[in-house]
Structure formats: C-alpha cells, structure tokens
Amino acid sequence: MIKVLAACGAGVNSSHQIKEAIESEFKNRGYNLHCDAVMIKDVNEEMLSQYDIFAQIAKTDFGFEVKTPIVDAGPILYRMPAMAKPVYDKIEAIIKEKGLN
C-alpha cells in the first residue's frame, strides 16, 4: 500500500479534502493508496518517515530535513481539474520512480 500524508493547520478541512481527492483519484488510476490527514503542528521527522509521499498544502519549515518526497497539493483545493491533474501526475511519477506500484 502506498502511504501519503496530508497536513493543514487544524487537520480537519483542507487536509481532509486533499485526502479524499487523492484517494479517489488513485483508486480510479488503479493504485492501492491510503492518505492520512493531520494537523501540521503534529508532523515530525519520525512521522514523515512512515510515509511514501508528503502532500503539503503550504511550504512549511519544519526545522529538519524532509526526506519524504513532497508534492504541493494546494491546487487540489481549487477543485479545477486543470489545476489538480499536475498534482496527481506528480504523485504518480513519484510512485513509479520509487517502484511503489
């Protein structure tokens, strides 16, 4: 299973919209993918190490080097296919590059 982490300020709204959109899109693309949504303040190096991809909403300085591949997922929130498709394609490229499929 491919594991993605999405995080936003409260861990309730934006991250859950991104979670649902990513899971739906990748189910349609034939992938076994699960996305968790959390509060950005709870993200730490150990947590990120448990995920294959970090779908960030806004660029965040965590104070440590993020080794998990990052995808800027904010455009998904505009709910415009033309803006979301490049995000999904980047996630898929990382999946293929890491041999996760």
What are the pLDDT digits (tens) for 87-96? 999 999 999 9
Token pair in block for residue 62: 């965590």
- The count of domains in the chain is 1
Question: In this predicted structure, what is the pLDDT of residue 9?
Answer: 80
Give the range of the structural domain holding residue 79, as residue numbers without chain letter. Answer: 2-97
Q: pTM of the prediction?
A: 0.93
Question: In this predicted structure, what is the pLDDT of residue 44?
Answer: 95
Question: In this predicted structure, what is the pLDDT of residue 13?
Answer: 85
Residue 46 belongs to domain with CATH number: 3.40.50.2300
Task: Give the whole-angstrom CA distance, residue 94 versus residue 34.
Answer: 15
Mean pLDDT, rounded, of the chain = 93
Question: In this predicted structure, what is the pLDDT of residue 12?
Answer: 66
Q: Which residues of the chain have pLDDT under 70?
A: 11-12
Token pair in block for residue 80: 């415009």
